[in-house]
Amino acid sequence: MAFDIGLALLVLGVGAWTVAARDTFAAVVGFVAYGLLLALVWVRLAAPDVALTEAALGSGLTGGLLVSASTRLRRAETRAVDERQPASLRLAAAVLCTLVSAGVAAIVLLLPEPAPTLAPQAMVNMAATGLGNPVTAVLMAYRAIDTLLETVVLLLALVGIWSLAPDRVWGGVPDPRHQAEPDGRLTFIAQLLVPVGILVGIHIFWVGSVAPGGEFQGATILAAMWILAMMAGLVDAPAVNRRWLRLMLVAGPAVFLTIGLTGFAVAGSFLAYPEPHAKLLILMIEIPVTLSIAATLALLVAGPPERAPGR
């Protein structure tokens, strides 16, 4: 009990610090710290799938995205900090946030005992999908359409970021070229960490059918390893007009959509799986989706093209 209170206070403290931080970089550090603590909270609530996603995606990868954004904004930041919002506006924002938090707290505290949930039905019907992890069953079978839409949304976000490239480097290479020092510290860590990370990423993806894990978490680890290799200068970012890259990005959603459409012919509706082949179909979807998501996330963090494509 004391542990839970302590953890909750720590989370609140770090959150408050993040909001109050004076510069963007500090705020991003606070955000990542907050995410790590939330992963602990999820484990405490016996929700390891959510903890995995929070640690990998919510905190780690989003943190990478925010850091590169804050770096680009640094030059403009000194001017922005001087324009303080009027006190009345900040007060209104504070009141609104407090009301929302109070509302959510009230709803959670006033839930009937036992709280309404679909978990028992999810567990009962899991055998039909051939999966052992109910969270994966929800993501890939019961609510597969949400997952399909997520992959498409990520792709759209990437297109949005690419559209920020200035005309002369359209279709070019993201990120400045990172110099690889042959004996450098960064090279050392990348050469050791990346292969291990790839193995762990594949493991987390694969184990997702029977234990906490799955394609989004595994893909995020793979993406982080690719970005690490890029930051260490071991590999250069690919030019965004390369055909193989674009094929890799759309392969996941395309396969997902195709299997979904064949569901009409084979099992009666969109994204319906014929029962004996359900697990195989889910696997056939998951592998390209993992690759696509990994590539999409890595390119999201890499950012808009900054160098012309070298043809």
The single residue among 129, 209, 217, 292 that binds another protein, judged by CB under 8 A, is 217
d(CA 5, CA 268): 50
Shortest Å distance, C-beta 265 to another protein: 38
d(CA 113, CA 135): 23
Confirm or reject binding of residue 110 to another protein (CB under 8 A): no
Confirm or reject binding of residue 17 to another protein (CB under 8 A): yes
The C-alpha torsion from 116 through 117 and 120 to 122, rounded to 10°, is: 150
Q: Given the complex with another protein, which of 189 and 280 has the nearer CB atom?
A: 189
Q: Given the complex with another protein, which of 148 and 227 has the nearer CB atom?
A: 227
Q: Given the complex with another protein, which of 31 and 256 has the nearer CB atom?
A: 31
Confirm or reject binding of residue 264 to another protein (CB under 8 A): no
The single residue among 131, 141, 221, 285 that binds another protein, judged by CB under 8 A, is 221
Confirm or reject binding of residue 291 to another protein (CB under 8 A): no
CB 218 within 8 A of CB 228: no
CB 302 within 8 A of CB 175: yes
Confirm or reject binding of residue 290 to another protein (CB under 8 A): no
Confirm or reject binding of residue 277 to another protein (CB under 8 A): no
Confirm or reject binding of residue 281 to another protein (CB under 8 A): no
CA neighbor of 288 nearest in space, from 143, 175, 151: 151
Contact track, another protein, 29-58, x by CB under 8 A? xx-xx--xx-xx--xx-x-xx-xx--xx--
CB 265 within 8 A of CB 274: no
Q: Angle at Cα 78 formed by Cα 77 and Cα 82, nearest 5°?
A: 110
Q: Angle at Cα 166 formed by Cα 165 and Cα 171, nearest 5°?
A: 55
Shortest Å distance, C-beta 126 to another protein: 17
Burial 82-97 (b: 16+ CB within 10 A, else e): eeeeeeeeeeeeeeee
Backbone angles phi, psi at 271, to 5 degrees: 65, 20
Shortest Å distance, C-beta 14 to another protein: 7
d(CA 252, CA 287): 8
- Applying CB under 8 A, which residues contact another protein? 2-3, 6-7, 10, 13-14, 17, 25-26, 28-30, 32-33, 36-37, 39-40, 43-44, 46, 48-49, 51-52, 55-56, 59-61, 63-64, 67-68, 70-71, 74-75, 77-78, 178, 185-186, 188-189, 192-193, 196-197, 200, 204, 207, 211-213, 217, 220-221, 224-225, 227-228, 231-232
